[in-house]
Structure 1
Amino acid sequence: MSRHNPDAELNERAQHLLKVMVRRYIRDGQPLGSRTLTRESGLDVSPATIRNVMADLEELGSVWSPHTSAGRVPTDKGYRFFVDSLLTVQGLDAEAVRKSDLQLTGGQSPDALVDSASNLLSGLTRLAGVVTLPRHVTRSLRHVEFLPLSDRRVLAILVLNEHEVENRIVHTDRDYTQAELQQVANFLNGEFAGRGVDQVREELLRSMEQDKERMNALMASVIELGGKVFDSDAEAEHEDYVVAGQTNLMEFQELSNVDKLRSLFEAFTEKRDILHVLDRCLAADGVQIFIGEESGYRVFDGCSLVTSPYSAEGEVLGVLGVIGPTRMEYDRVIPIVDMTAKLLGSALNQSH
């Protein structure tokens, strides 16, 4: 005797029960049994009927039982169906929007705005807020200076755009005198001042491909020092992100064991995995959600990332979002992430 076909699309009753289960589990973090679901659902059906529907949902992979005698909890697949098909996004409180707008005001430096945005995300969602630094904004070279250090190291002082100053230490193949460094700086400033950093890098790379034996000593020095200062790997060090509210994750039981917290905090520190996930969102249109294993990184199993790119002057500059447990309040988090992305983009427009 066959029961319901678990491969069929979820009927209205199953969708309603899944929605009730997910919302209740997000709120309490406890498995739900059939009696609780019967009471919470408002459906005029017996617990036995509820159990049959739950069995079908389990066969579909939308729910699972942590223990034989316990109730059921949503799976990543169940959350995905909930987010895509059953979620009703909350409207934002006007006062919260006003306060957020005040926190992200134009006139701050891009770094300060990014820091404010990460704290805003963390404060409003009580999760971990992450924001990548603006990485695709045009960065123009205004001036460069070099200072010799010990152990074949040189300090490069870069003035970018109008008033951004960056210091980079490069390791060289030989020691340079202050006079040699001044010559190199004079050449770079004369040739490249006012040009985009990407253009400078491309021009230096083209020069590196020329016959090195035909280069004079000055050009050889320009290629070595300039190539390292404007190297894409050096630039990548500044294409980073800031994070706020990591300790908020300790409040969730499913993330609070020592091993899980250690791996998450290592991911925040090493940054590579998080950056790879965020980079995938640069071309996204609006809010994007990774639930559990969808991120492609085991360290984020049991976590969800809600992200959105942010733009200024029509150009995507970076990505922001929150990281939290899969049972986060998606209806609250999604509009907060969307709002913060728009406010940050607007503030960056004003700062330029």
Structure 2
Amino acid sequence: MKEGSRLLDEMNDRSREVFRRVVEAYIESGEPVGSRTLTRTLSEKVSAATIRNVMQDLEFLGLLDSPHVSAGRIPTQLGLRMFVDGLLEVRDLDHHDREKLDATLGAGAGDVGGLLDRVGAALSGVTHGASLVLTPKHEAPMKHIEFVSLGHDRALVVLVFADGHVENRLFAPPPGQTPSSMREAANFLNAMIEGKTLSELRRDMAREIAARRQELNSLAAEMIETGMAMWEGEADNSARLIVRGRANLLGGEAEAEELDRIRTLFDDLERKRDIAEFLQLAETGEGVRIFIGSENKLFSLSGSSLVVSPYMNADRKIIGAVGVIGPTRLNYGRIVPIVDYTAQLVGKLIAERSER
């Protein structure tokens, strides 16, 4: 049993209600909650002194914290996790939110990329937070690959797909690469590329490298391995991360320290160092998942929360994810149904496009 669940089970009714009221008030206001505030909202009429004692016990358990002396309490990360897992009341999707999402996502035809750009804008607008959208991989068969040196520390890989789709991606080549070693790497790949998707090519290439490593110039082998690491890691087989609504997190009355954490978050996102992990978070199962603060490596430095859900194609295969990120005091009860509905809607629209 998780620590939070055990603590919740061991609480009496009064402690559980005080804890729930503190978290709900903090999520609504962002301010520490004092005992006198709670005396006006509790169903049971008790004194402020009694409530203070309960809050001290909750602080001792690691569920609440005192940012300043005599300034009330705020929930800790453990407290927020326990609230989300055991006490959160998820609302039905508000019909105004549903109408906004339907109108935005249903507007216009266009390609999948355009649809997902609108998804990001819609989520950001409806939630007044920042939205994250991980677009699908391009899984058409490959036709041609070419490496182009742009300097000692930069190179370009040109990917040509059989359906006419072309992608150009920058990456950092291993030290010591030469134009000839890049040509050798490209020739090696092109000899085995026909009819294969990028993921299939990577699988076959790994076997080929193991079997023919001695036949390859060592620099060329290193070049190929780096290229594949780039495809599967940073770029995630051409997955693209769309970030919308940054200004929603940077505006308002946020303190300087919080702004620094949020800027750190977006710096990390813009570098896309952990983009593959974003999809992996959602691939462990269907439905909405919530990551609070340091629970998620991708957002741990920012002290933010992520509400994320995968979306699927017509074959029920997870191909991407949508999410909302904001401060840990996100209105989880409202955000969860918005993210869930958006993910289902995106999957439906993509499936409809594939059937045309």
State TM-score, norm by structure 2: 0.79
User: Which of 211, 223, 231 is matched with 1:234 structurally?
Assistant: 231
How many angstroms apart in 1 are the aligned matches of 2:293 and 2:145? 47
Q: How many residues of Structure 1 are paired with residues of Structure 2 in the alignment? A: 335
1:29 equivalent in alignment to 2:26:
no
Q: Greater Rg, structure 1 or structure 2?
A: 1
1:158 corresponds to: 159
What are the equivalent positions in structure 2 for 1:1-352 lying under 5 Å apart?
9-105=10-106, 107-135=109-137, 138-141=139-142, 143-144=143-144, 157-160=158-161, 162-168=163-169, 173-175=177-179, 192-211=193-212, 227=224, 231-239=228-236, 240-251=240-251, 253=253, 256-257=256-257, 258-273=259-274, 275-276=276-277, 278-296=279-297, 298-301=300-303, 303-312=304-313, 313-352=315-354
Letter in 2 for 1:202: R
What is the alpha-carbon root mean square deviation over aligned residues? Answer: 3.6
Letter in 1 for 2:242: V
Identical counterparts, % of pairs? 37
Query: Contact between 1:122 and 1:128, CA under 8 Å: does it hold in 2?
Result: yes
Structure 1: which 5+ residue stretches go unaligned? 1-5
SS across alignment from 1:89: coil
Structure 1 residues 70 and 150 mapped into 2: Cα distance closer, same or farther (>3 Å)? closer
Shift of 1:78: 1.8
Deviates more, 1:307-316 or 1:196-205: 196-205
SS across alignment from 1:41: coil
Deviates more, 1:89-98 or 1:332-341: 89-98
1:3 corresponds to: none
Letter in 2 for 1:339: Y
Structure 1 residues 197 and 10 mapped into 2: Cα distance closer, same or farther (>3 Å)? same
Structure 1 residues 274 and 202 mapped into 2: Cα distance closer, same or farther (>3 Å)? closer
Alpha-carbon deviations, 1:245-282, whole Å to 9, x = none?
12211246556535324322322222325653552332
Query: Contact between 2:309 and 2:323, CA under 8 Å: does it hold in 1?
Result: yes
How many angstroms apart in 1 are the aligned matches of 2:270 and 2:147? 30
Alpha-carbon deviations, 1:79-115, whole Å to 9, x = none?
1222122221121133432431343349533332332
How many angstroms apart in 2 are the aligned matches of 1:265 and 1:346? 29
How many angstroms apart in 2 are the aligned matches of 1:38 and 1:131? 42
Structure 2: which 5+ residue stretches go unaligned? 1-6
Deviates more, 1:289-298 or 1:64-73: 289-298
How many angstroms apart in 2 are the aligned matches of 1:308 and 1:298? 19
Shift of 1:195: 2.4
Structure 1 residues 200 and 230 mapped into 2: Cα distance closer, same or farther (>3 Å)? farther
Letter in 2 for 1:325: P
Structure 1 residues 150 and 51 mapped into 2: Cα distance closer, same or farther (>3 Å)? closer
Structure 1 residues 196 and 299 mapped into 2: Cα distance closer, same or farther (>3 Å)? same
SS across alignment from 1:280: helix
Shift of 1:162: 3.2
Query: Contact between 2:234 and 2:274, CA under 8 Å: does it hold in 1?
Result: no
Shift of 1:338: 0.7
